[in-house]
Structure 1
Amino acid sequence: MKRLLIILQDLRGGGAEKMMVRLATALTDAGNDVTLLMLTDTGVNSACIDPRVKRVELHSARSSRAVPALARFLRQNRFDALLAALTHVNVVAIAAAMLSGTLARLHVSERNAFSHDKHVNPALAVRTAYLLAPLLYRLIPNPVICVSRGVAQDLVDTTITRAQDVTIADNPVLDNDFRDKAPGRPKHRWLSKKTTPVIVAVGRLARQKGFDVLIDAFARLADPRVRLIIFGEGALRTELLEQAVALGVADRFDLPGYTSDPLAEVAAADCFVLSSRFEGSPNALVEAMSTGTPVVSTHCPYGPQEILDNGAIAPLVAVDDPDALAQAITVELTLSRDANRQARIDAAARFVSACAAKTYLDALLGSQSS
């Protein structure tokens, strides 16, 4: 049994946090002693933590101020391997590992397209982290774990990071027995008592997710019966609602907020759409595919191209092109729901937790993992 530590800022509702909670469970299932450490506080994903996984909260006011506390914790508790997630957390973890003499056991991970993600948060501490990270990635002994080939290549192409400084590991998106599990019952009224075709999307209400383009595409659909639901929370809520009003589709559009069981909602829908401008490896797309529901995705950097086998599994359309998106959605709503269903499910199976756990253990422990 190996002692493993996963370092996060908190456990809010983001995809990276959700995947790290799932990874903690998968690594525990593989026979390891796993601890989740949050630099600040907990969050909504704490409800999903397996009771076997230990948790530690440093309660730092900001992640950037957590270096001394994290260094003390690392000196006082010996782990066989450490894994940090998200760029600003990686920088904090590297500094703390240097101070505590544990750098040889530290691994960091990039969860998104670095060249795009660095522009999202204007906070000085975050911008500084993005400036420092590539230099640190050249200096640390272990390669950066990236969630897709695209994320790894982007890091190499747009920073001083070298090819030997990166490696790849898939997200643990799905339960190992996902094929055998029936989806839960949807809670949204348009899905629980469905009378018309319904399109569903899931994600933060942020510019990255391209929901403004999706609403534009939705307004261009010829069938006036079709409805659109976007599950998620975020700063653009009011703006998206106003856009729906301006386009005359407000009565067929809903923003119900965060859902605790997105698979149940997506499984009942007629089409799932990923409209993102950039990603790392979109977990929502994989989850949607696992239900067999038809999907449409933008050809955004990075992830969808790899997941959908260059469009062989499901349509890929240009980013920021509402006409193309509307056309692809129309085609999917016209086809039989079972068209290419098994191909979608089979492609999603690559992202089961057991496969991810093995890949991460190999990356974290090398020969010690066997």
Structure 2
Amino acid sequence: MKKLLIILHDLNAGGAEKMMMRLAGALVDAGNDVTLLMLTGGGIHARQLDSRVKMVELQSPRSARAVPALARFLRANRFDAQLAALTHVNVVAIAAATLSGTLARLHVSERNAFSYDKYVNRQLMVRVAYLVAPLLYRLIPNPVICVSRGVAQDLVSTTIARRRDVTVADNPVLDNDFRDKQPGLPSHPWLLQKSAPVIVAVGRLAPQKGFDTLIAAFAAIPDPDVRLIIFGEGALRPQLQDLAQTLGVADRFDLPGYASDPMAEVAAADCFVLSSRFEGSPNALVEALSTGTPVVSTRCPHGPQDILVGGIVAPLVAVDDPIALAQAITQQLSTPRSLQRQSRIDAAARFMNASAVETYLAALLGRPSP
């Protein structure tokens, strides 16, 4: 049994937080003693954390101010491996590990396309973190664990990081028995009592997700009965609602907020769409594939091309091209649902907990890759 630590900012909504929570549980399943530490604390995912995972909250008012407390914790609690996630947390963890003498056991991870993600949060300390992180990545003893080959290549191509400074480990997106589980009942009335084809998307209502392009594509679909639901929350809610109104599709469009069981909603839909402008490794796309529901994705950097095997498993279209997106969705809606269903499920299987955790253990503990 190895003693492992995962370091996050908090457990609020976000793909990285959700995946680190799942990874913690999967590492426990693999026979390890796992602690999840939050620099601040709390978050909507906290109550979903596996009860076998120890949870520590430093309650720092800001991530950057957590360095002394984290250094004390690392010095007092020796772990076989420490894993930090997200760029600004990585910088804090590197500083604390250096002060505590545990840098040799620290691993950091990048969860998104670095060259795009650095422009999302313009807070001063986050911007500073993105400036210094590539230099630190060259100096630390362990390679940066990237969530996909595209993220690794992006880091090497757009910063001073070298090929030897990166490695790749898949996200633990799915339970090992996902093939045997029946989806739950959807909560949305358009999916519970379906009277017309329904398109579904899931994600934060933020520019990265390209939901404005999706709404424009939806308006260009010839069938006037098709409906669109986007599950998620965020700052762009008013703009997206206004766009739907302007394009004349507001009566067939809904933004119901977060779904308690998004996979149940996706499983009942006729098509799932990932309209993102950039990603790291889109977990929602993997979850959608696992239900067998037809999917369409943008060819955004990075992840979809790898997950969908260059478009063999499901259609890939250019980013910010609503007409191409509308055509691909229309094609999927007119194709028998059973066509390529097994291929979609098989493509998702790579991201089962058991498979993904082995790639992480190989990176964290120096085990040979499976």
TM-score under structure 2 length normalisation: 0.99
> 1:68-79, aligned counterparts within 5 Å?
68-79=68-79
> 1:227-238, aligned counterparts within 5 Å?
227-238=227-238
1:368 Cα offset (Å) = 9.7
1:367 Cα offset (Å) = 3.9
AA partner of residue 318 (structure 1): A
Instruction: Measure the CA separation in 2 of the matches of 1:261 and 1:355.
Output: 23
Question: Secondary structure in 2 aligned to 1:66?
Answer: helix
8 A contact 2:359–2:369 mirrored in 1: no
Cα deviations across residues 151-178 of structure 1 (Å, max 9, x unaligned)?
0000000000000000000000000000
Matched, 1:306 2:306: yes
8 A contact 2:272–2:296 mirrored in 1: yes
Instruction: Measure the CA separation in 1 of the matches of 2:274 and 2:267.
Output: 15
AA partner of residue 114 (structure 1): F
Residue in 2 aligned with 1:265?
Answer: 265
Question: Secondary structure in 2 aligned to 1:244?
Answer: helix
8 A contact 2:361–2:367 mirrored in 1: no
AA partner of residue 29 (structure 1): D
Cα 1:369–1:324 shift into 2, 3 Å:
closer
Instruction: Measure the CA separation in 2 of the matches of 1:2 and 1:368.
Output: 16
Cα deviations across residues 37-63 of structure 1 (Å, max 9, x unaligned)?
000111111122111000000011111
C-alpha root-mean-square deviation of aligned residues, in Å? 1.0
AA partner of residue 360 (structure 2): Y
Percent identity (aligned): 77
> 1:1-370, aligned counterparts within 5 Å?
1-367=1-367
More moved, 354-363 vs 105-114: 354-363
Cα 1:333–1:135 shift into 2, 3 Å:
same
Instruction: Measure the CA separation in 2 of the matches of 1:369 and 1:285.
Output: 25
Question: Secondary structure in 2 aligned to 1:351?
Answer: coil
1:260 Cα offset (Å) = 1.8
8 A contact 2:4–2:80 mirrored in 1: yes
Instruction: Measure the CA separation in 2 of the matches of 1:368 and 1:65.
Output: 37
Instruction: Measure the CA separation in 1 of the matches of 2:63 and 2:367.
Output: 32
Instruction: Measure the CA separation in 2 of the matches of 1:307 and 1:321.
Output: 21
Instruction: Measure the CA separation in 1 of the matches of 2:318 and 2:16.
Output: 25
Cα 1:199–1:368 shift into 2, 3 Å:
closer
Moved over 3 A (4+): 367-370
Q: Unaligned stretches of 5+ in structure 2?
A: none
1:282 Cα offset (Å) = 0.2
Question: Secondary structure in 1 aligned to 2:229?
Answer: strand
More moved, 38-47 vs 156-165: 38-47
Instruction: Measure the CA separation in 1 of the matches of 2:125 and 2:337.
Output: 47
8 A contact 2:9–2:63 mirrored in 1: yes
Q: How many residues align?
A: 370
AA partner of residue 257 (structure 1): G
Instruction: Measure the CA separation in 1 of the matches of 2:47 and 2:186.
Output: 20
Instruction: Measure the CA separation in 1 of the matches of 2:335 and 2:367.
Output: 48
1:369 Cα offset (Å) = 10
AA partner of residue 334 (structure 1): S
Question: Secondary structure in 2 aligned to 1:273?
Answer: strand
1:194 Cα offset (Å) = 0.9
Cα deviations across residues 272-301 of structure 1 (Å, max 9, x unaligned)?
000000000000000000000000000000
AA partner of residue 22 (structure 1): R
Q: Unaligned stretches of 5+ in structure 1?
A: none
8 A contact 2:110–2:147 mirrored in 1: yes
Instruction: Measure the CA separation in 2 of the matches of 1:259 and 1:357.
Output: 27
Instruction: Measure the CA separation in 2 of the matches of 1:332 and 1:298.
Output: 14
